[in-house]
Amino acid sequence: DDGAPDGVGVLDWFFGVAAIGSRRSSFVVAVLGAAGGIGQPLAAFVKANARVRELRLYDVAPVVRGVGVDLSHINTRAKVRAYVGDAELDACLRGCDLVVVPAGVPRKPGMSRDDLFGVNAGIVRTLCEAIARSCPNALVNIISNPVNSTVPIAAEVFKRSGCYDARKLMGVTHLDVMRARTFVAEAKGFDDPTIVDVPVIGGHAGATILPLLSQTTPRCAFTDEEAAALTRRIQNGGTEVVEAKGGAGSATLSMAAAAAEFADACLRGLSGESGIWACAYVESSVASAPFFATKVLLGKHGVERVSGPGAMSPFEKRAMENMLPELQASINKGINFVG
Ligand code: NAI
């Protein structure tokens, strides 16, 4: 035991570089869409992760080569390689342990995540076909929206290729958890948001994002009004950023931090650390919808255990009932796209 804290949320993937430098774990990580608003800072965080032996960057935009040169000057051990366009995609993926996918278009003001389906569904399908060919055993973290549909698309592609393992496919909803931690800390006057935890379940769009404030740790009491207002703010966190950026994109820096923290949790699981729990959108039978975000235990093969929602307040139970039809519809839309 190296004394690292269990669970996710202390930013040790970045600040603890020196402390973890001696770990035995050593992984190859690819970022697909690495020249983008999320991809670039995410790649920088992954370059700083001492568990990473090689960082592969892929994009259709040729500037990704320059991003690779830039990152390669950071004096951490990860070797950086950049790949451009279809012809280099398989080479990028061969031998990867973890593939993180932030490729695709982001929202503009007034758009829902589902409005991105027309463009991003095809991008995710193409990238997953390549993953199935070139690194069928890798863990896959899907960031591209609408996550509620793109993860079922990925699952369907992997099934058709005969390499689907539900333990290895995760939709990244960790930004919702980060927002919940931050907003609850603000509301309750905690100076240090890293000590707060709030599970966020369901999916990653509007009402399907359900923070379980009743399970906040350290334990906090919320009035009904407070719970309703905080829930709304967490659900609308992405839209808050989209509007503040006024057409120039959606959350990129916070998303990169969330994706890097989640990716690190996956690598810690792969390297055999125990007790690595994080929320993610995965296939399971814990709810009536076949894909559902909930707390999962990450281990040597990816998701080793999926926890149910646990005890919910009446407000949370109602919100869950109300959101399930929307979540199911988004899942069907993804499956039908491939079918
Ligand atoms: P961006 O437009 O800045 O970057 C996207 C990158 O993907 C670009 O570099 C583009 O060249 C690349 N790309 C496009 N087609 C590609 C393909 N076929 N293969 C490889 N790369 C390709 O967008 P940004 O802000 O980085 O957002 C990316 C995605 O992440 C969006 O779909 C956005 O909605 C989603 N997102 C998800 C969040 C979550 O919590 N899961 C939070 C925030 C954004």
Residues whose CB is less than 8 angstroms from the CB of residue 256 and which lie 6 or more positions away in sequence, other chains included: 38, 40, 41, 42, 44, 45
Cβ contact 224:211 at 8 Å: no
Q: Token pair 């709304």 is at which residue?
A: 232
Q: Is 254 in the pocket of ligand 1 (CB under 6 A)?
A: no
| CA dihedral over 202, 208, 114, 244, signed as positive or negative | negative
d(CA 41, CA 155): 27
Q: Is 106 in the pocket of ligand 1 (CB under 6 A)?
A: yes
pLDDT at res. 174: 98
Residue 214 pLDDT > 60:
yes
d(CA 126, CA 166): 19
Peptide bond into 218 cis (omega under 30): yes
Read off the pLDDT band of 25 (50, 70, 90).
confident
Cβ contact 95:28 at 8 Å: yes
Which protein residue has the closest C-alpha to ligand 1 atom 8? 36
Q: By C-alpha distance, which of 268, 301, 274 is closest to 24?
A: 268
Read off the pLDDT band of 160 (50, 70, 90).
very high
Residue 28 pLDDT > 80:
yes
Q: Tell me the average pLDDT across 28-49.
A: 97
Which protein residue has the closest C-alpha to ligand 1 atom 31? 106
Q: Is 208 in the pocket of ligand 1 (CB under 6 A)?
A: no
β-pair partners for 202:
209, 293
Q: Is 251 in the pocket of ligand 1 (CB under 6 A)?
A: yes
d(CA 54, CA 35): 17
Q: Is 249 in the pocket of ligand 1 (CB under 6 A)?
A: yes
3-state helix, strand, coil in the chain (%, to 5): 50, 20, 35
pLDDT at res. 10: 47
Judged by average pLDDT, the poorest of 20-24, 28-32, 40-44 is 20-24
Read off the pLDDT band of 152 (50, 70, 90).
very high
Q: Tell me the average pLDDT across 47-64.
A: 97
In terms of pTM, does the model score above 0.80?
yes
d(CA 196, CA 198): 7
Cβ contact 126:101 at 8 Å: no
pLDDT tens readout for residues 172-212? 999 999 999 999 999 999 999 999 999 999 999 999 999 99
Q: Token pair 């689907």 is at which residue?
A: 164
Q: Token pair 């109300």 is at which residue?
A: 322
Q: For residue 204, indicate whether it is catalytic.
A: yes
Residue 6 pLDDT > 70:
no
Judged by average pLDDT, the poorest of 19-33, 51-65, 185-199 is 19-33
Pairing of strands 139-142, 98-101: parallel
User: Which tokens belong to 30?
Assistant: 């690819």
| Residue 96 dihedral angles phi and psi, to the nearest 5° | -75, 140
d(CA 68, CA 56): 9
pLDDT tens readout for residues 240-271? 999 999 999 999 999 999 999 999 999 999 99
Over its C-alpha atoms, the chain yields an Rg (Å, rounded) of: 19
Percentage of the residues of the chain whose pLDDT score is greater than 70:
93
Which protein residue has the closest C-alpha to ligand 1 atom 39? 143
User: Which tokens belong to 90?
Assistant: 């398989």
pLDDT at res. 339: 87
DSSP 77-125: S-EEEEEESHHHHHHHHTT-SEEEE--SPPP-TT--GGGGHHHHHHHHH
pLDDT at res. 23: 53
How many angstroms separate the alpha carbon of residue 78 from the centre of ligand 1? 23
